[in-house]
Structure 1
Amino acid sequence: MTQAPLICVIEDEQDLAQLLDDYLSANGYRTLQFHTGDGAEAWLMENQADLILLDLMLPGVDGLQICKNQLNRNATPIIMMTAKVEEIDRLLGLELGADDYICKPYSPREVVARVKAVLRRSHSEAVASPEGKSSISLDEHRQELILFGKTVELTAIEFKLFALLYSQPGRIFSRQYILDNIYQDYRVVSDRTVDSHIKKLRKKLVTSAQDIELIRSVYGSGYKFETP
């Protein structure tokens, strides 16, 4: 029998963590609570959850550092939680690659809904490989890109960007289209954020693709994927 998804709740307010735990459990999820960043970091170094609910302000290792560390370990979906609306720009500006964010105070039902939505995306079927590009393997379930036999380590945002461009080779995707379809709330990001993510993605691809340029800039229009 398949186990229910394991949700890691990293929240220093113990009453709030327990409230989220209760709602998640009632909706069929397994849960694990951590009230300090140090404890969560130690567990995540040796184990893997299906999704992480991560508070920004934590004693010990803070949420930003845990998010950075986790994205270097694996592609576990992360939903950031913060009581400071002004921190959202900082979260996105730091390009951590979290899958979603929630502002406090929030409804536990909203959190459960966000968890369900993010898990649906992360467990969707593998992206089909366009005909004639067997040198590229893209698996959305694992958030894994294999390019010319090499695994390319991508953040969650970088993976989504590549999957979008790769889905329609030759099509020019405008920055606005990318904002609307990649970022959870495009109103708090800018064209410069898109350009920065694209720049980092292209650098990783060129390194693994033997200097072949797969993503091209189209001046004044946007970006496109070109078949190698």
Structure 2
Amino acid sequence: MAARILIVEDDAKTVELVRLYLARDGYRVLAASDGITGLNIARQNKPALIILDIMLPGMNGIEICRQLRLESGVPVIMLTAKTSDDDKLAGLDTGADDYITKPFSPRELAARVRAILRRLPGTRTPEIIKCGQLTLDFTRHQVTLNGAGVKLTAVELKLLGAMAAEPGRVFSRSQLIEQALGYDFDGFDRTIDVHIGNLRRKLRLNKTNTCFIQTIYGAGYRFVCEPEI
């Protein structure tokens, strides 16, 4: 069965353009022109990926993404005319996996959709990784910490899986981008920092600063199985 992609966008021409390119790749495309309808369709149809505008009637894309992240790790690509770094960081900080600004190349958007779906967890990592109180189960796309489930986005889980598969190794930003995003980087260096920041927040032990991911200043990040405070 073809994967379902949901487009939440109030510009009909943009919807049809994106629909055309995604349909060529064999995806089944769903669409909504306002935020509330888009959120309801996402909840009812469980799409494989969501392409989400920020400026929408009814409910904006940031709030939709925030609501989705309380419920699932469905990949989200922000597609918006808001172009500042602060706007990009706001989108990524709510849990979006990628951020594309308008005007955009539909071919690039389709390529990024393929890249994210192709890199859903499970490739090039063991099926299960256990580090103390943390367990990563890639066959079920589940992460547990102290026995409780942790909701991660597809990119977050891919990042965590890449690092956890080689504990102690220092990964540069460019290496993590290649592992988790899988397309040519456009120079927005803080993208990975935002994803890592989200991971740290979600993986804190006992609401302290104890974390499995360490910053190696000037070099990148590494995963440790026995985190230190």
The separation in 2 between residues aligned to 1:148 and 1:11, in whole angstroms, is 39
Q: TM-score, normalised by structure 2?
A: 0.77
Distance 1:98 1:226 in 2: 25
Distance 1:186 1:207, change over 3 A: farther
Deviation by residue 1:154-180 (Cα, 9 ceiling, x = unmatched)? 344543442232121122334565466
1:169 counterpart residue number: 167
Instruction: Measure how far apart 1:40 and its partner are.
Output: 0.6
Residue in structure 2 matched with residue 59 of structure 1 by the alignment: 57
Q: In structure 2, do the counterparts of structure 1 residues 204 and 140 end up closer, same or farther at CA, with 3 Å as the change threshold?
A: same
Alpha-carbon distance in 1 for matches of 2:120, 2:166: 20
SS in structure 1 at match of 2:7 = strand
How many aligned positions are there? 223
Q: In 2, Cα distance between the equivalents of 1:7 and 1:148? A: 34
Match of 2:32 in 1: 34
1:122 equivalent in structure 2: 120
Structure 1 unaligned residues grouped into runs of 5+: none
CA shift in 2, pair 1:198/1:117, >3 Å: closer
**1:156-206 CA distance string (max 9 Å, x none):** 454344223212112233456546655674622339x72x65455344334
**Aligned: 1:45 with 2:46:** no
Report Cα offsets for 1:44-85 as digits up to 9, x if no partner.
233310111111211111111111211221111111111233
1:207 aligns with 205
Identity %: 36
Q: Which SS does the other structure have where 2:123 is aligned?
A: coil
TM-score normalised per structure 1: 0.77
Change (3 A) 1:141 1:116: farther
Alignment-mate amino acid for residue 36 of structure 1: D
Tell me the equivalent position of 2:7: 9
When residues 81 and 171 of structure 1 are mapped into structure 2, their CA distance, relative to the original with a 3 A threshold, is: same
Hey, what's the Cα distance between the residues in 2 that align with 1:147 and 1:127?
19
- More off after superposition, 89-98 vs 7-16: 89-98
Give the distance between the partners of 1:51 and 1:213, measured in 2 at CA: 29
Q: Distance in 1 between matches of 2:188 and 2:218?
A: 22
Kept in 2, the 8 Å contact 1:148–1:209? The answer is: no
CA separation in 2, counterparts of 1:131 and 1:65? Answer: 33
Distance 1:141 1:48, change over 3 A: farther
Higher mean C-alpha displacement, 102-111 vs 77-86 = 102-111
Moved more, 199-208 or 72-81: 199-208
1:190 counterpart residue number: 190
Residue 133 to residue 154, structure 1, CA distance change in 2 (3 Å): same
Give the letter aligned to residue 92 of structure 1. L
Check conservation: 1:92, 1:189, Cα contact below 8 A: no
Where 2:44 maps in the other structure, the secondary structure is coil
37-46 vs 201-210, greater mean Cα deviation? 201-210
- CA shift in 2, pair 1:54/1:141, >3 Å: farther
Of 89, 96, 101, 2:99 maps to 101
* 8 Å CA contact retained: 2:129, 2:165: no
> Does residue 92 in structure 1 map to residue 89 in structure 2?
yes
SS of residue in 2 equivalent to 1:42:
helix
Deviations 1:80-116 (Å, cap 9, x if unpaired)?
A: 1112332x54222451232222222233333222221
**Corresponding residue for 2:23?**
25
CA RMSD of aligned residues (A): 3.4
Structure 2 unmatched ranges of 5 or more: none
